[in-house]
Amino acid sequence: MPLRVAIVGSGPAGIYTAEALTKQSAEPVEVDVLERLPTPYGLVRYGVAPDHTSIKSIAGYLRRVLEQPGIRFLGGVELGRHITVDDLRAAYDAVVYCTGAMVDRRMNIPGEDLPGSVAATDFVNWYCGHPDVPADAFTLDSTEVAVIGVGNVAVDVVRILAKTAAELRTTDVPEEVLGALADSQVKAIHMIGRRGPEHAKFTLKELRELGELANADVSVRPDEAGDNDVSELSRQIRGNVEVLRGWAARTPVGRPRRLDVRFWLRPVEIIGTDRVEGIRLERTALSDGRVVGTGVFETIPAGMVLRSVGYQSVPLPGVPFDERSATVPNTAGRIAPGQYVAGWLKRGPTGVIGTNKSDAAETVRTLLADLAAEPVAPPAVRLDDLLAERGVRPITYAEWLSIEAAEAERARSLGRGERVKLVGLAAMLAACGREQAPA
C-alpha cells in the first residue's frame, strides 16, 4: 500500500511538500492537496504583485509538481468547514498543514478600525482578485495615502498605488480593479518606517524599482536618510541606505504622483471622526540600541491609511497554536507523530517563495523518519466518501484548468495580457460549468 498523505493548503509550502514526498524513492506515496479556494498556488496567485510577472511565473514550476502522478488537487475543501482534523487523521497516514498566514497583524492604536484604515492583506487581496474581497471593495478617492511599514509588501502596495492603470493593463488584475486604479485620485503616498533606513525590511531590488517609477517622484528627507557610516553593515542594508540617500539628493521633476519615504516615525493614532483624516506619529530615536519615542509628534493628513505591518496565521480547529508567535509549535515540522506543518504556518510570515522549499523538505524528512520508525495501520476511511456523504464535490485539477482557460479568454476579449483574473466564487464555478459553490 502506498503511504497516503494529506496536505492542507496549496501555496508554495504545500506544493513543495508534495514535491518532496513524491521525489523520494524510499516509500511509494499518494498525496492529496486540499485547498479552501477553487484555485491553487496560495500567495503566488493572491499575493505576489501582478506587475512582478517573472516571480509569478514560478506558478509554472508549481503546476508541474501538481501534475505529477500520485498527486491530486482537491479545491473548495476547507479544513474546519468541510472536514476536521479527525477526518484527516482517519483517512491518511500523515497530514501536513500548510495554510500560511491569512490575516493582518494589528498595530493596537486608536482609530485602527475607522473606515479608510485598511489592512494590506485586504488591499493586496483586492488587487489580486481574491474571492474573499469584493471587486468593488476600494475606491481610491483620497489624494493622500499613508502606508505604514517598510517591508516588501509595503513596497508592492506603494508601487500599485503609484503606477498608472495603463502601466498595469497587461497584468492579470481584475478589470474592475483596473477601473478603480484608472479613477484613482491619489497624488501623494507617504511610506512610513518606525525605525531608520538601515532597519527597513525591504530588499534592494524591490526598493530600487520605486526609484524608477515613471509616474511618481520619490523623495526622502536628508535628516531622516542620515549620514552615519554604514560601511560595516551587510551589502543588502548598505545598498538600501545608499539608494535612499541618493533619493534624498533628488529634485522632483513634476511627475503626477509623489512618494515620500519617511523614517523614525511610529504611528500613535489614526485620526478622524467618521473616517480616516490622517495619522499621528511620534518621532523616534535610538537609545542604547532600542527605539524610543522622543515626545515630538507630527500629523500627516491622509484619507486612507494602509497598514502593511505583517501577516499572521490563524489557528486551525484541532491543531495546536501558539498565540504569541501565531505559529504551530513543532520540532523540525513535527507537531505530533502523524501531524506536521510547513511554510508560514510553521515559521511565521517571513521569507520568499524559495524559503518554503527547504522548509518543506525538512518537514518531509521528519515525516518519513517517523513512519519508518513506527509504521501505522492503513487508513480506515476514504476522504472522498466523507466528502460525498456531506455533499461536497471538490474542484478537480481539470476544473481549475478551465478557470485558467476562462481567465486567458477574458484577457483576449479585453485585449489585455495573458490572463485577467475572474472575481468571485460564482464566476470561477461558472467557468467550471458549475452553478453552486462546492458547499
Ligand X SMILES: NC(=O)c1ccc[n+]([C@@H]2O[C@H](COP(=O)([O-])OP(=O)(O)OC[C@H]3O[C@@H](n4cnc5c(N)ncnc54)[C@H](OP(=O)(O)O)[C@@H]3O)[C@@H](O)[C@H]2O)c1
> How many whole angstroms separate alpha carbon 242 and alpha carbon 211?
12
79 touches, from ligand X, ligand FAD, none (C-beta below 5 to 8 Å by class) = ligand FAD
> How many whole angstroms separate alpha carbon 380 and alpha carbon 246?
65
Task: Indicate whether 195 belongs to the interface with ligand X (CB under 6 A).
Answer: yes
Integer distance in angstroms from the first to the last C-alpha of the chain? 31
Considering only residues 331-390, where is the footprint of ligand FAD by CB under 6 A? 343-344, 351-353, 356
116 touches, from ligand X, ligand FAD, none (C-beta below 5 to 8 Å by class) = none
> Which letter does DSSP use for residue 106 in this model?
P
Pair 333, 340: CB distance under 8 Å: yes
Select 12 or 116, whichever has its Cβ closest to ligand X: 12
Q: How far is CA 110 from the centre of its chain?
A: 26
Task: Indicate whether 154 belongs to the interface with ligand X (CB under 6 A).
Answer: yes
Task: Indicate whether 283 belongs to the interface with ligand X (CB under 6 A).
Answer: no
Task: Indicate whether 392 belongs to the interface with ligand FAD (CB under 6 A).
Answer: no
Considering only residues 204-243, where is the footprint of ligand X by CB under 6 A? 206
Only one of the segments 165-173, 218-226, 345-353, 356-364 lies at the binding site for ligand X (rule: CB under 6 A); that segment is 345-353
Please, what is the minimum distance in Å from the beta carbon of residue 251 to ligand FAD?
31
Q: CA distances (Å), 190 to each of 61, 124, 146, 226, 361, in order?
A: 36, 18, 5, 18, 40
Select 99 or 142, whichever has its Cβ closest to ligand FAD: 99
Q: Which ranges constitute the DSSP H helices of 204-264?
A: 204-211, 222-225, 235-248
> How many whole angstroms separate alpha carbon 272 and alpha carbon 238?
38
Q: Tell me the residue number closest to ligand FAD, measured at CB.
A: 11
Phi, psi angles (nearest 5°) of residue 291: -85, 125
Considering only residues 145-174, where is the footprint of ligand FAD by CB under 6 A? 153, 156
SS3 per residue for 149-195:
CCCHHHHHHHHHHHCCHHHHCCCCCCHHHHHHHHCCCCCEEEEECCC
The length of the chain, given as a count of residues: 439
Please, what is the minimum distance in Å from the beta carbon of residue 374 to ligand FAD?
27
Considering only residues 299-338, where is the footprint of ligand FAD by CB under 6 A? 311, 316
Q: Helix 12-23 to helix 58-66 angle, to the nearest 10 degrees? A: 50
Task: Indicate whether 438 belongs to the interface with ligand X (CB under 6 A).
Answer: no
Task: Indicate whether 272 belongs to the interface with ligand FAD (CB under 6 A).
Answer: no
Pair 395, 105: CB distance under 8 Å: no
Pair 289, 275: CB distance under 8 Å: no
Tell me which H or E stretch contains 294: strand 290-301
Task: Indicate whether 348 belongs to the interface with ligand X (CB under 6 A).
Answer: no
Please, what is the minimum distance in Å from the beta carbon of residue 245 to ligand FAD?
25
Considering only residues 27-86, where is the footprint of ligand FAD by CB under 6 A? 34-37, 42-43, 47-48, 52, 55, 78-80
Binding mask 115-134 for ligand FAD (x = CB under 6 A): ---------x----------
Considering only residues 102-141, where is the footprint of ligand X by CB under 6 A? 107
Only one of the segments 208-216, 254-262, 306-314, 413-421 lies at the binding site for ligand X (rule: CB under 6 A); that segment is 306-314
Compute how many residues bind ligand FAD; rule: CB under 6 A. 35
Select 270 or 368, whichever has its Cβ closest to ligand X: 270
Angular region, 74: left φ>0, alpha ψ -120 to 50, beta rest: beta
Q: Using the rule CB under 6 A, which residue among 194, 258, 419, 421 binds ligand X?
A: 194
Tell me which H or E stretch contains 31: strand 29-34
Please, what is the minimum distance in Å from the beta carbon of residue 106 to ligand X?
8
Q: Using the rule CB under 6 A, which residue among 19, 32, 35, 156 binds ligand X?
A: 156
Residue 323: is it exposed, middle or buried by C-beta count within 10 angstroms (0-12/13-18/19+)? exposed
Which grid cell is 150? 517598510
348 touches, from ligand X, ligand FAD, none (C-beta below 5 to 8 Å by class) = none
Tell me which H or E stretch contains 370: helix 355-373
Please, what is the minimum distance in Å from the beta carbon of residue 355 to ligand FAD?
6
> How many whole angstroms separate alpha carbon 412 and alpha carbon 407?
9
Interface residues toward ligand FAD, by CB under 6 A: 8-14, 34-37, 42-43, 47-48, 52, 55, 78-80, 98-100, 102, 124, 153, 156, 311, 316, 343-344, 351-353, 356
Interface residues toward ligand X, by CB under 6 A: 107, 148-154, 156, 193-195, 199, 201, 206, 266-267, 308-311, 349-352
